Amino acid sequence: MTSIQKSAGNPSIDYTVWLLTESGNVFVMLPFSIILLIIRRTRKIGMILLILLVLSSLITGYVKCGVDRDRPFLDWLGSELPFEVEPDSLLWTDFRTNQEMKNLFLLFKKSGFIVEREKDITQNIIRALELLTPYRKRQIKKHVPSVIQGVFFII
């Protein structure tokens, strides 16, 4: 283990580990499987890989729902809400189109929910994201390998 730790920072090893890690990504495996499916000699393995991708996605979805683990305890560092939220209330935010929001509120109303307060916070969210951008850039430069940092700075 110590020899592995000593090799940290070696660009060739870092790239090799990164390639091995990313090769299991579904966005890499899907095109690879499709290419194998197109080539006549590898059609069978391509089909097997596609079937395995679908099955593993389904199994992962069910396993994630079935695993019961406690959420980590995190201290709330934000400001308090300017109003009292009752224990049986639902405080909810979402970004949807206007038509989707109208449909959603109709569903809420049909379900028996009562909208006590509604406020458009889009500008607050945009401002918060603008304030967080410098911090995120520093964190990316600090923790992400320089080879792939450009992916995060596309604007």
- For the chain, the domains span 1-65, 85-155
**Matching residue, tokens 């729902």:** 65
Sequence-separated (6 or more) residues with CB below 8 Å from residue 23: 29
pTM, rounded to two decimals: 0.34
pLDDT in tens, 58-109: 777 766 665 555 555 656 566 666 667 676 676 677 777 778 888 888 888 8
pLDDT in tens, 19-54: 777 777 777 788 888 898 899 999 999 899 889 888
Sequence-separated (6 or more) residues with CB below 8 Å from residue 45: 36
Spatial separation of the C-alpha atoms in residues 83 and 91, rounded to whole Å: 11
Neighbours of 143 (CB within 10 A): 8
| HSE value, Cβ hemisphere, 13 Å, CA-based, for 135 | 5
Q: Of 115, 124, 155, which Cα lies nearest the Cα of 137?
A: 155
